[in-house]
Amino acid sequence: MRIGLEGKIDAIKERRPELIAEAEKRIRKAAKVVAKLETKAPGSNKLHQKKRRLATLQNRLAALKADQEAGTVRICFGSKKLFHAQFDLQANGYADHEEWKADWSRARASQFFVLGSQDETAGCQSCQATLAQDGTLSLQLRLPNAMVTSGKYLNITGVCFAYGYAQIKAALATSQRIHTQTKDGKPTVKRIGTALSYRFVRDDKGWRIFVSVEVRPVEQVSRQELGAIGVDLNADHLAVAETDRFGNLIGTRRIDLITYGKTQDQAKALIGDAAVALAAQAQAAGKPIVLETLNFQKKKAELETTDPKQARLLSSFACNKVASSIKAAAFRAGVEIIEVNPAYTSVIGAVNYAQAKGISVHQGAAYAIARRGLGLSERLTVQMGLVPARNGGHVTFDLPARNRSKHVWSFWSKVRTKLKAAHVAHFRCGAHKTAPPPLPLASPGVCPIWNSTARSRGANRSQNCSGNVWPDVPF
């Protein structure tokens, strides 16, 4: 109990400075939005709601700073929702306060943790597992002194785990006794093995048992010499791009990952399935996975100026959970994870690869991430900025001059500024609401008249063969 409580306290203390910094950023953004609305739409309902939002953020920041200065840690076991249910019993389905308190006590006592140790029998002192003849596990749980009536131990038989069962049995097999001597020369027995920790959780269906064990690394099957698989994390999907060893694009895919409107368990299941599918692709190709070291706190701090639909997606998107799930799945599959700086990958993918490769801007970003993981060039490959838009059209802009005495990222910084201006102009003129332009004709034979000013490949080459041979040259 003490170890679990200290862990929660340390987590809150470590997380609170980040929450303060995030609240300050959101307040600055909200203040700018309020100032703009006071000029353009004074007295509007939107301005009223933004002011309420700004006041809420300011109160939250003041409370966080007060707790930080006083060293106060606020923890509610049993959930805040259930705790506040006592103030409106009828609306929450309770006849009286005693009925609510029974649920409250049951929720607070719904789980306990048994810490493992590698120098104990079967990796744990208070809960020891043994392998039965039928392949299941038998647990011997040591009871507290206050609960000892008929026996000191509680035996649980027929335990089997759906996931990680092989790792648990392998950890139990590592337990062994070594005969050594003390400094005084006295013989002693030392036990060495793998620690197994147990968590018992009670829900509506009964008791569940979770085992934590250190998994041994799997033999690595991925090699950078074969290429890489880049992944771009987005609020509603994962964009994936695979390259060969030269950095050429082999293929792209999209893995839908919409966590908005899902419960915590549903979102966790969706994230796990997406991570397993990605790890399976990397394992089959024998290539490492390249991820960005992203931090969505900055994007979440800009929710006040974001489209409401996108803001809802970002609020429900667990970036850290997705990244950790991908790393865990890759670890189990023996796939290497390469983390790169996310600077300007979206801009590089949109300008360099989206139109040229016929892929989306997110898949272009994934392609840029994969190339960065391989250490390949990021210089400009087009002569005109042409980036696809959401309605099927595109925006164009002139590219700035490249100063080769500076790092290439300084050039992409200027490109990003021009790209933002092009998107703003595209939005203000209403082009984002128009129908997409018609698709180009597949071949000149499908229409009666077709004129093209493009010259064939090799038109400027000198003719060094006979005229009747020239049409058969495979340019």
SS (H, E, C) 271-288: HHHHHHHHHHHHHHHCCC
Give the whole-angstrom CA distance, residue 446 versus residue 209: 67
- List the CATH number of the domain containing 299: 3.30.420.140
With cut-offs at 50, 70 and 90, classify the pLDDT of residue 454.
Answer: very low
Q: What is the pLDDT of residue 249?
A: 93
- Choice between 451 and 249, residue whose per-residue pLDDT is larger: 249
Residues 322 and 432 in one domain: no
Q: Does residue 174 sit within a domain?
A: yes
The residue among 328, 358, 376 that closes a domain is 376
Q: pLDDT > 90: what percent of the chain? A: 31
Nearest Cα residue to 432 out of 397, 394, 391, 386: 391
Residue 73: per-residue pLDDT: 92
More confidently predicted of 288 and 462: 288
Q: What pLDDT is attached to residue 26?
A: 87
Three-state DSSP class for residue 80: helix
The model's pLDDT over 168-210, given as tens digits with 9 standing for 90+, comes to 888 888 877 676 777 777 777 676 788 889 999 988 888 889 9
357 lies in the same domain as 387: no
Cβ neighbors of 286 (< 8 A, separation 6 or more) are 221, 222, 223, 226
Name the amino acid, one letter, at 372.
Answer: R
Domains held by the chain: number: 4
Q: Do residues 122 and 168 both lie within one domain? A: yes
Are both 238 and 273 inside the same structural domain?
A: yes
Q: How far apart are CA 197 and CA 419, in angstroms?
A: 52
Q: What angle do CA 12, 18, 23 make, to 5 degrees?
A: 110
- Residue 450, pLDDT > 70, answer no
Domain annotation covers residue 363: yes
CA angle 432, 410, 248 (to 5 degrees): 70
Do residues 393 and 367 both lie within one domain?
no
97-140, pLDDT tens digit by residue?
999 999 899 888 888 888 888 888 888 888 888 888 888 889 98
Q: Where are the beta strands (DSSP E) in 20-89?
A: none
What pLDDT was estimated at residue 108?
87
The whole-angstrom separation of Cα 450 and Cα 436 is 22
* Interatomic CA distance for residues 216 and 173, integer angstroms: 13
Tell me how far apart the alpha carbons of residues 325 and 195 are, in angstroms, rounded to a whole number.
23
In a domain, residue 413? The reply is: yes
Do 261 and 338 lie in a common domain? yes
Q: Let me know whether 313 and 333 are in one domain.
A: yes
How high is the mean pLDDT of the chain? Answer: 83
Residue 287 CB-half CA count within 13 A: 27
* Residue 287, in any domain of the structure: yes
Closest CA relative to residue 53, chosen from 64, 42, 65, 45: 45
Tokens of 107: 């929720």
The residue that leads in pLDDT, 329 or 475, is 329
Instruction: Please check whether residues 231 and 174 belong to one and the same domain.
Output: no
Q: Which of 176, 177, 174 is nearest to 214 (CA)?
A: 174
Among the three residues 75, 93, 124, which one is the final residue of a domain in this structure?
75
One domain for residues 254 and 326: yes
Which structural domain range is residue 346 located in? Answer: 224-376
- The Cα–Cα gap between 336 and 304 comes to 38
238 and 203 both lie in a single domain: no
Both 22 and 157 in one domain: the answer is no
Residue 474 lies in a domain: no
Kindly state the tokens that stand for 127.
Answer: 């809960």
Flag whether 88 is in a domain.
no
pLDDT at res. 449: 41
State percent of the chain over pLDDT 70: 85
Residue 219 lies in a domain: no
pLDDT in tens, 214-246: 877 788 899 999 999 999 988 788 999 999 999
pLDDT in tens, 57-111: 999 999 999 999 999 999 888 888 899 999 988 888 898 999 999 989 988 888 8
Residues facing 229 on adjacent strands: 242, 289
The pLDDT value given to residue 312: 66
* Per-residue pLDDT reduced to its tens digit, 315-336: 656 777 888 899 999 998 999 9
pLDDT for residue 12:
92
Tokens 């509680």 locate to 154
Mean pLDDT is lowest, of 10-19, 294-303, 359-368, 381-390, for 294-303
Question: Would you give the distance in Å from CA 245 to the centre of its chain?
Answer: 26
The structure tokens listed for 398 are: 């002139």
Same domain (yes/no): 294, 369: yes
Pairing of strands 289-292, 228-233: parallel
- pLDDT given for residue 298 in this prediction: 66
- For residue 80, is it within any domain? no
The domain boundary, picked from 49, 75, 101, lies at 75
